[in-house]
Structure 1
């Protein structure tokens, strides 16, 4: 898999040395970043608190608060903690963690080792996507460190391993990641729990300090620079730099290191990207912005929130004028619905219903009833899921309905906008996405109308996939068949009395 292209606007911190080398092995990493200092528990906590270092995977939770909670649990239960790096990056629009895994894996290990040594961890676990770059790059980097001499700052402070998880969107959710590391299905648990509390929510019952790959890489940079030098760039509230992934239609994604607070419009101009009809910030759990709102918005958590956006996973994508925005949104919503764990009502019913309604609107056949259904179902899922997947999908859809209101009105009238859906928003397997396709594609359902007699049994056996129309005949949803629904689809096919239903590979 090719490494993502890299650009920096300002000082090179996370991207130091990448203008010279495709990958920084340990000797090159030493040259590019310098010696790795050592920290005690109090000194490292003081560093991350002074910088207000926060997670860079989407939620933006304070790293120091996580660390203190895990340490408090460890003291109460007399158990050492486990340091976990979330490098699965199931977000198709993001390539920043993939860039770090491919080109600067030792920067991730630096941060994890700093935390593990300072907090007395018994193990470091790096979760990576099966088939992705981390599957080979991280074990290779671990092997390079295992050859270090005793006393070296780069020697691993505790056992360190990489764990491969299925390449799915929900595999990167913290609870799903810990379940996958523990040998269980990598899906979010039915009840939300904090990994720092250990028990069923932690690795082997231990208090677990979990953050994503860029967060640990930022920790490594901050440890070398110190709080004052680290804060030379950025904003007073959000010092330092951050990584953005910019989607480029027809081209591989571009990873850009920018100072926090840089105007988003200037970043787009420097990368040769126009804001188009609208700009998606934060990835597929993010929000859409109008071009005029995005132009002067600072690239920071606070700056994007002020215009209705979110930094999220740091992914930015614009829609060019020659594609149908509603069709693009419907395409991604259908994928998000199929990527859910299917463990609760919002994911099993609400997201597929929303995707079907948007698909009807996009094909100019839905009208006001389809729009009403989309709004009603996506609004109903917020705050009701077992994980954050329904909430993130709702943010994506509802912001799109607001930003693309003019296009929506044209589709609602039944005329359609007349533009094709070019698929500019990346999904796994797309030619330009540089993401691996799933090893096996799920089949789709189809009806042989010359055989169907409208028995209705199929809708009773697979209600998430099939509903009955006003005359009692099946109506198939447009959402791809999720892995957790395949058995229901096969059951409906096998028990159709008229043999009218079949699965198409």
Structure 2
């Protein structure tokens, strides 16, 4: 797997040494970053507090507050904590964690070891995506440290857990379930990993943060609060890692000072603003190019224009592609990536994706747009995890930013532009292996010459099939989610007229 390309605007912190090395081994890492100081519990909490260090995986939760909750549970129960690094990066538009794993893995391990030693953790667990760079890079880096025999390099046991590459597998509860050997889906009931018990790894109070967060902790530990805050904004000191999606080129990972103007970053990296900017990834929000140009890239700056920093992913949508088709494409993928544990995911997201697909092809008219708005608005605040809320933010912001295109599609004419698939999705890049039936997307298809309108398919697979006004099946165009495959196959096998079949799309 090719290591993502890196660029920096301003000082190199997380990217130090990467202009000279494709990968920083332990010795190169020490040369680029210097020795790692040791902190006790109170000193590390004070450092994180002073900088208001926040999670960089999307939620932006304060690291010090999370750590204090973990330590409070550890003190109360007498159980040592577990440090978990979330390096799964299921966000297709983001490559920053993949870059850190492939090119500077010791920086992630430095931050995790810093926390583990200061907080008396008994174990560090690094969660990575199966088949990704972390599967090899993390064990290799741990082995390099082990050969040095320095306890500060490995203060406790470190192990790597590989999880399936799935969007919701990176949710904190899903990650801990996966580490515990359970299906990597969000738990039906929300609980805090810091409380331990069923929500923690092996019942222990668990400190879970994103890979970049631990890398930032390692940088801050070396620099100290004053030097760390030389760049960035007073409220958000330091640098950020961004992933910029580029047309016909691999993604570019850029380190910028927090608060850098969006327009300057895009212009320097040679990325035109296009017809809309997606910030924060597929749980993020769309911005108009004119609104984004002077927007500071920071949590506060993006929130002021209705955006979100999220996972630090920015995608500029070129003028040559159909924006409604691109949005419909991602909405269908988001619907298929859900865990299917609650109504918003089982019904709301697929129905929204179907309505957007109708609009994209110039069909459905005003009723399809009304259906998309109604269903996606209805899922907000009702999901078992954050997936419905993030998906709603993505779709609703698109309906606002691309309002003019929507009006053309709503009229039935369509915009006339092809859907080029410029927004990245897993499996759409060149692969060394040919696609198999297991990798293909599947949809249900009706042979209308055979269908007699029995309606049994709607009873067997209500999430996939509805009955129209005359009793015949109405089937959406979105791919069948993994958790619905059994229902789909049962509907196919039990159709009395043998009119239903699965159609695979490579």
TM-score normalised by length of structure 1: 0.98
SS at 1:450's partner residue?
coil
Q: Contact 2:443 / 2:477 at 8 angstroms: preserved in 1?
A: no
Is residue 54–residue 60 contact of structure 1 (8 Å, CA) maintained in 2? yes
- Work out whether residues 348 and 379 of structure 2, in 8 Å CA contact, stay in contact via their aligned partners in 1: yes
- CA-to-aligned-CA distance 1:65-122 (integer Å, 9 cap, x gap): 0000000011111110000000000000000000000000000000000000000000
Kept in 2: contact 1:429–1:435 (CA 8 A): no
Moved more, 24-33 or 86-95: 24-33
Task: Report what 1:89 is aligned to.
Answer: 89
User: For the residues of structure 2 that align with 1:434 and 1:222, how far apart are their CA atoms?
Assistant: 40
Residue number in structure 1 paired with 2:245 = 247
Quote the offset at 1:440 in angstroms: 2.6
Q: CA deviation at 1:443?
A: 2.7
Out of 260, 263, 267, the residue aligned to residue 262 of structure 1 is 260
| Cα deviations by residue, 1:256-310 (Å, 9 ceiling, x for unpaired) | 0000000000000001001110100000000000001100000000000001100
Q: Does 1:375 align with 2:366?
A: no
Cα deviation, residue 463, structure 1: 1.1
Deviation at 1:434, TM superposition (A): 11
Supply the distance in 2 between the matched residues of 1:226 and 1:106 (Cα, whole angstroms): 19
1:434/1:175 Cα in 2 relative to 1: closer, same or farther (>3 Å)? farther
CA distance in 1, matches of 2:82, 2:123: 5
In structure 1, the residue matched to 2:336 is 338
Q: Verify the 8 A CA contact 1:250 1:432 in the aligned structure 2.
A: no
Residue by residue over 1:430-466, the C-alpha shift from the partner in whole angstroms, topping out at 9 and shown as x without a partner, is 2279999896334322122221111111111111111
Distance 1:234 1:433 in 2: 39
Q: Secondary structure at the match of 1:35?
A: coil
1:51 aligned residue: 51
SS of 2:321 mapped into structure 1: coil
Please list the CA deviations of residues 192-226 of structure 1 after superposition, one character each: whole Å capped at 9, or x if unmatched: 11110111110011100000000000000000000
What CA distance in whole angstroms lies between the structure 1 residues aligned with 2:189 and 2:265?
A: 40
Contact 2:355 2:368 in 1 (8 A): yes
Question: Which of 405, 416, 424 pairs up with 1:418?
Answer: 416
Residue 229 of structure 1 corresponds to 227
Match of 1:358 in 2: 356
SS of equivalent residue, structure 2 residue 3:
coil
* CA shift in 2, pair 1:192/1:251, >3 Å: same
2:62 matched residue in structure 1: 62
Which of residues 381, 384, 390 is equivalent to 2:382?
A: 384
**Preserved CA contact (<8 Å) 1:132 1:436:** no
Structure 2 residue matching 1:490: 3-state secondary structure? helix
User: 2:80 maps to which residue?
Assistant: 80
The aligned runs of 1:130-279 (5 Å cut-off) are 130-151=130-151, 153-154=152-153, 156-279=154-277
The alpha carbon displacement at 1:148 in A equals 1.5
Q: 1:95 to 1:163 in 2, by over 3 A?
A: same
TM-score, normalising length: structure 2: 0.98
- How many residues get paired? 503
The DSSP-based 3-state class of the residue aligned with 1:443 is: strand
Q: 1:450 & 1:142 partners in 2: Cα distance? A: 62
Tell me how far 1:504 sits from its aligned partner. Answer: 2.5
Q: Distance in 2 between matches of 1:353 and 1:433?
A: 31
SS at the partner of 1:97?
A: helix
Q: Does 1:443 align with 2:442?
A: yes
| Structure 2 unaligned residues grouped into runs of 5+ | none
1:147 aligned counterpart, secondary structure:
helix
Equivalent residue, structure 2, for 1:316: 314
CA–CA distance in structure 1, aligned partners of residues 317 and 353 of structure 2: 19
